[in-house]
């Protein structure tokens, strides 16, 4: 009897297949969030929103407002539970409205990136208000995006 080598066949997914998997996961996650916590806004940001994603990229989602609790641990627990069983990896960042708006005013990287490069999956009107506020702050504060992050460019009088 001849012994043959056994091996596992590995299928490397294409970017098209992964995009479809991510789209499905994002749709399901958005619906779960809307049903469970009624968020004010859900924003997709990161490489997928910028169009620079690769096959193994994850989804980055900011969740603002709704019935999110004040304690960060509780917010994280809720959004993590809602991700169970989805066909793609999702990094969820849950914030209260007041907390996210403070982050924007204080030039927090996640807030700035999600408003500048992100897009609303839910809560278009709120997102547009954030973008107007962001644009005013960029102009007033002299914020500028560089390869290393955000910096302040001094205003000349």
How confident is the model at residue 15, as a pLDDT? 77
- Distance in Å from the first CA to the final CA of the chain: 88
Whether the pLDDT of residue 4 is over 60: the answer is no
Domain layout of the chain by residue ranges: 15-152
* pLDDT tier at 10, thresholds 50, 70, 90: low
Q: pTM for the full model?
A: 0.87
What backbone torsions phi and psi does residue 122 show, to the nearest 5 degrees?
-160, 140
Assigned token pair, 42 = 């859900």
CA 107 centroid distance within chain: 17
- Burial degree of 112 (CB within 10 A; 0-12, 13-18, 19+): buried
CA distance 44 to 52: 13
Strand partners, 93: 62
Residue 55: what pLDDT?
86
Q: Exposed/middle/buried for 47, CB within 10 Å: 0-12, 13-18, 19+?
A: middle
Domain 15-152 has CATH 3.30.460.10: yes
């Amino acid at each position: 009897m001849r012994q043959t080598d056994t091996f596992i066949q590995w299928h490397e997914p294409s970017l098209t297949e992964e995009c479809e998997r991510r789209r499905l996961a994002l749709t399901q996650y958005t619906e779960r969030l809307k049903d469970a916590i009624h968020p004010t806004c859900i924003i997709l940001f990161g490489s997928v929103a910028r169009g620079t994603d690769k096959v193994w990229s994850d989804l980055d989602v900011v969740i603002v407002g709704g019935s999110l609790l004040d304690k960060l641990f509780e917010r994280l627990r809720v959004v993590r539970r809602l991700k169970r069983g989805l066909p793609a990896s999702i990094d969820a960042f849950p914030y209260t409205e007041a907390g996210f708006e403070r982050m924007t005013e204080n030039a927090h990287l996640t807030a700035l990136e999600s408003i500048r490069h992100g897009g609303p999956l839910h809560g278009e009107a709120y997102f547009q208000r954030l973008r107007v506020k962001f644009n005013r702050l960029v102009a007033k504060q002299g914020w500028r995006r560089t390869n290393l992050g955000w910096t302040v460019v001094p205003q000349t009088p």
